A and B are shown apart, each in its own frame.
Chain A
Amino acid sequence: MAASERPPETRAQEDEATRRATGGARTLAATMPRLILEARRVAATIIHGLHGRRRAGTGENFWQFRRFVSGEPASNVDWRRSARDDHLYVREHEWEAAHTVWIWPDRSASMLFASPLVWETKLDRALVVAFALAEVLVEGGERVGLPGLMRPSASRNIIEKLAETIVHDPTERASLPPTFAPSPLSEVVVLSDLWSPIDDVRRTLAQLSATGANGHVIQIVDPAEESFPYSGRIEFREPEGGGMITAGRAEMWRTDYAARVARHRAEIRAETERLGWSFVIHRTDRPAAELLLALHARMGAGNGTGTSRWQALTQAGGAA
C-alpha cells in the first residue's frame, strides 16, 4: 500500500506515539524483572538462547548428575562420575534455549481513539507495552520480531529498532497481523482493540496458530468503549470503513451495547481457549505496567497456578 493513502495527520499522530513510546517503554521495562519465557516443550530448539533455563536440557553448562534410568541410551552415562561408586550417573546440562516472540501492535486508525475519560490513545498504550515487552524479552535473551515488518532480533537496542521500523513502515495499518507462519515454538503477542468482525479475528488466529505457535491476545480498549458514557442524539462513525449509525438517545443503547461487547469478547475468548492461547483485556485507564505484569506472568509461568507463577517470577527476578 502506498503511504500516500494514509492521511498525513494520522501518520504524524502515529509517529508521535512511537516517539513517546520509546521513552515510556524503556522506563517501564526498567521496572520489570527479567522475563524468561517458559519452555513448554522439553524438546530441543533449533535456535539456542544465551541463557540457561535453570533446568536440565541441552546446553553446554553442567547442571546436575542424576541416576541412570534403565532404557536410556548408554552413551548418556557419565562414566567418570559413575566410576566413583556403584551407581550409574548421567550428566545433565542446563537447558539453554532462545524463543522467538512475535509482537503485533495494532496501529490502525481505530487505535487512535481516546475518550475524554483517559489521556492516552489506545495506540500509545499498545506501543508502550509492545516496546517494553520487547525490551524485557531481549534482556531475557529472547528474540523479538514484528510480523511482516521486522525479522526476529535480539539486538540490545531493540526499542530503537522497533521504533524505526514502525516509523518507516509505508504500508497501510491493518488491525490484525498479516498472514505469516510463525515457527511452532515461537510465541505471538497480539495487541489490538479487536473490534474487527469476529470472523476476521477467528481467521487470523487460526492462521497464526496453524503451525502450533503459542500466543497471547490482548484487547486494549478505551474505558468509553466499555462503559458507553454517551447520551443524547449522537451519530457514531467508524474510524475505519466509514460506517455510521445515529442513536436518538444514546443512553438507551448502553445495556444492549454492553451485552454486545460481552458477546464479542466471549467469542474471542472461546476462540483463544480453543487454541490454547490466552486472552487479556486491558483498559487504557489502567496503568500500562499492569498489562506488562500480566503478560510477564503468563509468558513466564505457563500452566501453573497463579501463586506458583509468581514464585517463579520472583525466583527469576532474584536470579537476575
Chain B
Amino acid sequence: MIAGLPLGFASPLILLGLVSLPVLWWLLRLVPPRPRRIFFPPTRLLFDIAPKEETPSRTPWWLTLLRLTLAALVIIAAAGPQWNPPIATAQASAPLALLIDDGWAAAAAWDIRMRTAEELIARAEADGRGVAIIPLSETGRDISLETPGAARVRLRQIKPQPHTVERVEALPALARFIAGTPTIDMLWLSDGVDVARGKDFVDGLAKTLDKRIVTVVEGGVPPAHALVAADNAAGGLTVKVLRARTDGGEEGLVRALDQKGLPLGEAPFAFKGSERETEAKFDLPVEIRNDIARLEVAAERSSGVVQLLDKRWRRRTVGVVTGATADTAQPLLASTFYLSRALNPFADVRLAERAAPAEAVKQFLDQNLPMLILADVGNVAGDARDRLAKWIEDGGVLVRFAGPRLAAGDDDLIPVQLRRGGRILGGSLSWEQPQQLASFSRESPFAGMPVPNDVTVTRQVLAEPDSGLTERTWATLADGTPLVTAARRGKGLIILFHVSADTRWSDLPLSGTFVEMLKRIVALSGTNALAESTTDARATRETIPPNRVLDGFGAFTAPPSTARPVPANYSGRATADHPPGFYGPPEGLLAVNTLHPADRLNPIDYAPLSTRMEVYRLGEPKDLRGPIFLAALVLLLIDALVVLWLAGGVNRLMSRRRVAAGALLIGALGLGLSGAQPASAQTAAPPAQTAPAPNPAADDFALKTTLETRLAYIVTGDAEVDGISKSGLQGLTLFLAQRTALEAGEPIGLDPARDELAFFPLIYWPIVPGAARPTPAALSKIDAYMKQGGTVLFDTRDAVMAPPGPGGESRSPGMLALREILSALDIPELEPVPRDHVLTKTFFLLKDFPGRFTSGQLWVEATPAPDEDEQARPARAGDGVSSILITSNDLAGAWAQRPDGQAMLPLVPGEPRQREYAYRAGVNIVMYTLTGNYKADQVHIPALLERLGQ
C-alpha cells in the first residue's frame, strides 16, 4: 500500500532500480543523436563557415525527460504494480481469525466486506491456514478454527443484524478462543462505528490479545450513516443524520415513504467539514407529513438509515369541548360540526359526547391531547381548571371560541381581558353594519394568508383596550377590533376567537380561511412534549408482538422467530430480541428504531490496540503491468518519431514522396495497438443508427403527384379493369378541363400497400369480386387516409347484376366483396345521396349519378338530420367531405374513352345524354372532394347580399 492509494507492488525491491535514473540522465544528456550523412559537393565551402557555427551536441531536455519516464515506467512495470492489492496479513502461517462487524453499520457496504473476507479465506486456503470466523453479534457460540472451506460456508450464512451490535458481549468467547489458540493472526473487518461501548471492547480486546498485532480493515467504502430523532414539529419534519467519520463534506438525500412504501418527498442533507451530525428537513404540508411512516437515506441500505415513524409522529389529536348541550341536538348547526369538518383534513378530532365541559376537559387531559378547543365554554370549573392551566404551562394549545356563555362567564384562561359585567349589555356588541376581516398580524402564524373579503362578523366579544392588546392580536376586523387574540402561557398557548365557532355570530366558519387558520394553529401544537400514550398506565403492562421488522439492510421482512414482543411504551434502542420494525396491530403500530434519539455515532478509537490499518478494496486486484508496459511502448514510439524528426527524417520522407507509405506504417502501428486492446473495447457502442436515408423514389413520387392535382385509382391487378379505370379517369380529367377551372394532371394508379395516398383528393376504387383482399397494412393506410380527409369512391360496377327485389343492390357480388374490404375499416353511417345533399349542387345540378348503369345509387356518409328549428335550406352538408362514396354504376366505364375520343364501352339503358350526365356526376364528385361544403354555404349568398343592403 502506498499512502492512501490502493496501489501495491509484487516485488517492491525492483523499484530500487529507479535510483539508476540519474546515471541514465547523465548518459542521455551526453550522447547526441547520430547525424545524417550526406554527400555534398560544396562541402569545401562549408569548411570556411564551420568555426562560426555552434553545434548542439546535447539531446534536448524534454527528450531526456521522455526517455527517463520511459525507463522509470519500465522499472515500475517490472516491479509488478497492482491496483487494489489484496489485503496483507500480519503473519504468513498462523491461523487466521476474522472478527466481522455485522451490525447495521456494516450493511451499507456488506458485499465489499464479504468479498474481502472471501479473498482472505481464499488466500488462507492457498497457504493452508485454518480460519476462525467470528461475527461479533454471535455471542453465545464458542469460537473454533475451521478449514477455509467450512469457514467460507459459515461466512455466507452471516447476515448483517438490524440492531446495534454490542461488541463487548463477544469478548468472553473471544478470550476463551485466544487462550486456546496462542498463535493467531487476527483481522478485524470493522465498520468503524462506535455507538456506545466501543471503547470497552477495544480495551478488552487489547487486554486479551496482549500486544499481538491486529490488522484492522476500515475505510475505503462509503461511510455508514444513521437517522435518529425524527421530529414532526410545527414547521416541518426534521430528522438528524449522523455519521461516524469526519472527513470532509458530504451531501445526500433523505427520502420519506408512506406506510405502503410510496415516496412522499425528499429532503437534502449536507455534512460540512468535520460535522458528525446534520439535519434534513421535510418542508411538506402537515397532512402529508402525517402520512410519513418511514424515512431513509437514499442510496444506502442499512437498518440504521431507516427511521420508522408511528402514530406518535402523526396527526395531532384535537379535543373539542362545547359548552352547549343543545349543540348535539342539531348536529349540522352545531359548532362542533364546523370545527370537526374544518379540522378533519389534518387532525384527529375527538368530541366530548354529552359530558359536562369540566368532565370532558379532564378526560382529554388524561388522554394527553396536544390541543383542546373549547367552543363557547364559559368556565371550566374545579380542579379541571387547574389541570388545564398546568397542561397549558406544559405546552398544550388551548383554542377558545366566544359565544354567549363565554361572554357571560368569568374566566382567566383567555389571552386578553374582555369587556364584561354590567358595563356592556350582554357583553357583546351589535352593529348596524357587519364588519369584515381586515388583516392578519405579521407576527402571527396567520401571516401571509390572503385576507378574505367574504367574511363578515355580526357579533363579537370585545377586548378591553390594553397596552399589550396589539401584540396579542393575530387578526383584526375592519374597525380595528381584534378577531383572534393569543397569549403564551409557559410552553403553551391560549388562542381566542372572538366569534363563535358556528354561523350565528359570523360566517367565518363557512370560509376556507377558517380551515387554514385552524391548520396553522394545529401545526403549532406539534411541539408537544409528552407523547400521547406514555402516561397511559395500562400500556406499561401490555406487550405487543412484532408486525414487520427490518433486516440489516433496512428492508421490511417477516419477524424472525427470535423476535419478542415489546412493551407498548417501548422507546429504547432496538436489540437482538426486539429488532427494529413495526410492532402491534396494523391500526396501532408502534415503531421501534435501530437507534435511540440520543444515540450518536463515533469513530472507533483503536489506540489501545497495536494495529495495522488496511482499507477495504472496492475492486478486484488489477495487474497494472500491462497498461504501464503499453504506456512505455507508446513513449518508445514517440521517442522514435522524435528522433526521426530531429534527424530530419520527416523531410526526407516527404521529399521522397513516401508520406503515404509512412502514414500507412503509422496507421498499421495504430491498428496493431488498437487490436491489442482487450476484447471489451470491441464491444463498444455500435455506430449510431443513422437517420433513414431519404428515399429518392419516394421523393420523385411525391413531387410527381403534388406538382399537379391528379385523380387516382386503385390498381386492382385486373388489367382490363385497370385499363378502364385509367382511361375513364383520363376522360373525366379531359371533361373537367373543358368545363371547369380544374386542369388536372394525368391520372395515376396506386397500390395502397406501397404508395403514399395523402396526395390525392379523390381515389377511385373499382371493386373486382375475385380480387384478393388488401393487406391489413394497406387497409390501415386507407383508413388513415379517409380519417385525414381523403375521399375514396368505391365502384362495384355491377348495378345490372344485382338480384332483383328490394335491397338487391346490396347483395351483388361486388357489394359482397366491398363489404369484406370495408369490414376492416372504420366506416361511418351511410345513406343514399339525399336530394338536398351538396353533392347534387357542387357544379351541375343533378338528380342522380348515373354511370354505365343507372340503377345503382350513390351512397355517402349520412349527414346529420335536418334540424327542425332550422329553416329549410336548399343544400345540406356535414362539416367535412364524405370520406367514402359508394356506387355500383361503373362510373369509370362511362367516362372511358378510346384514344380517338370515342366512347370505349356502351351504356346500358342507353338513354340520351346518359354519358353526359355520367361526366357531370364525375365533375360534381370531384368538385365535392375539392371544395367540400363550400357550395352549401354559397347558396346563402343571395340572403347575405340582401342583408348587406345590395
Contact = CB atoms under 8 A, between A and B. Distances in A.
Q: Do A and B bind each other?
A: yes
Given A234-B648, A237-B38, A195 B46 contact: no
B26 interface: no
B37 A237 contact: yes
B553 to A, nearest CB: 68
Contact of B651 (A231, A233, A238): A231
B33 A233 contact: yes
Contact of A116 (B39, B45, B50, B655): B655
Contacts of A238: 39-41, 43-44
Interface string B623-659: 0000000000000000000000011100110011000
Given A230-B648, A239-B41, A248 B54 contact: yes
A195 B45 contact: yes
A249 B55 contact: yes
A245 B551 CA distance: 86
A241 B44 contact: yes
Contacts of B647: 232-233
B54 A256 contact: no
B39 A239 contact: yes
A209 interface: no
A305 interface: no
A230 B651 CA distance: 9
B47 to A, nearest CB: 6
A38 interface: no
Contacts of A236: 38-40, 43, 46
Interface string A1-33: 000000000000000000000000000000000
Contact of B53 (A225, A233, A237, A248): A248
Contacts of B38: 230, 234-237
B37 A235 contact: yes
A252 interface: yes
B57 interface: yes
A256 B52 contact: yes
A264 B40 CA distance: 16
Interface string A199-219: 000000000000000000000
A9 to B, nearest CB: 13
A168 interface: no
Contacts of B648: 230-234, 250
B654 to A, nearest CB: 9
A43 interface: no
Interface string B47-84: 11110111111000000000000000000000000000
A246 B45 contact: no
A203 B48 CA distance: 21
A256 B47 CA distance: 11
Nearest to B36: A234
A257 B45 contact: yes
Contacts of B652: 116
Contact of B44 (A113, A195, A252, A256): A195
A197 B44 contact: yes
B42 interface: yes
B32 interface: yes
A292 B273 CA distance: 91
Contacts of A253: 46, 49, 53
Contacts of A264: 45
Size range of the interface on B? Answer: 20 to 34
B40 A237 contact: yes
A247 interface: yes
A11 to B, nearest CB: 17
Contacts of B39: 113, 236-239
B672 interface: no
Nearest to A111: B41
Interface string A97-126: 000000000000011010011000000000
A53 to B, nearest CB: 41
Contacts of B864: none
A261 interface: yes
B180 interface: no
A261 B44 CA distance: 11
A260 B646 contact: no
A247 B57 CA distance: 10
B55 A248 contact: yes
B56 A245 contact: no
Contacts of B651: 231-232
A148 to B, nearest CB: 22
B396 to A, nearest CB: 96
A274 B442 CA distance: 116
A252 B40 contact: no
Size range of the interface on A? Answer: 35 or more
A232 to B, nearest CB: 3
Nearest to B656: A116
A243 interface: yes
A205 B576 CA distance: 119
A247 B55 contact: yes
Given A237-B38, A253-B53, A256-B53, A232 B45 contact: no
Interface in A249-276: 249-250, 252-253, 256-257, 260-261, 264
A117 B657 CA distance: 11
A247 B43 CA distance: 11
A193 interface: yes
A59 B691 CA distance: 94
Contacts of A113: 39-41
B466 to A, nearest CB: 101
A257 B46 contact: yes
Nearest to B34: A233
A244 interface: yes
B37 to A, nearest CB: 5
A110 B43 CA distance: 10
A303 B57 CA distance: 54
A121 B45 CA distance: 20
Contacts of A195: 41-42, 44-45
Contacts of B54: 248
A246 B37 CA distance: 9
Contacts of B37: 234-235, 237
A168 to B, nearest CB: 26
B222 interface: no
B43 A237 contact: yes
A235 B36 contact: yes
Contacts of A245: 43, 46-47, 50
Contacts of A234: 35-38, 648
Contacts of B48: 260
Contacts of B55: 246-249
Given A232-B648, A247-B53, A248-B55, A261 B41 contact: no
Please indicate which of the listed interface residues B37, B50, B53 has the most CB atoms of chain A within 10 Å of its own CB: B53
Nearest to B58: A248
A257 B41 CA distance: 13
Contact of A246 (B35, B44, B49): B35
A91 to B, nearest CB: 57
A242 to B, nearest CB: 10
Nearest to A232: B648
Contacts of A249: 55-56
A222 B38 CA distance: 14
Contacts of A250: 648
A122 to B, nearest CB: 8
A197 B54 CA distance: 25
A110 B35 CA distance: 21
B800 to A, nearest CB: 93
B60 to A, nearest CB: 11
24 contacts: A113-B40, A117-B655, A195-B42, A197-B44, A225-B40, A225-B42, A232-B651, A233-B35, A234-B36, A234-B38, A235-B38, A236-B43, A237-B43, A239-B41, A245-B43, A245-B47, A246-B35, A246-B55, A247-B53, A248-B32, A248-B54, A249-B56, A256-B53, A257-B42
Leading 6 A-B pairs by shortest Cβ distance: A248-B55, A232-B648, A110-B41, A256-B49, A233-B35, A116-B655
Given A231-B648, A234-B36, A247-B55, 8 more contacts: A193-B41, A234-B37, A241-B44, A245-B47, A248-B57, A253-B49, A256-B53, A260-B49
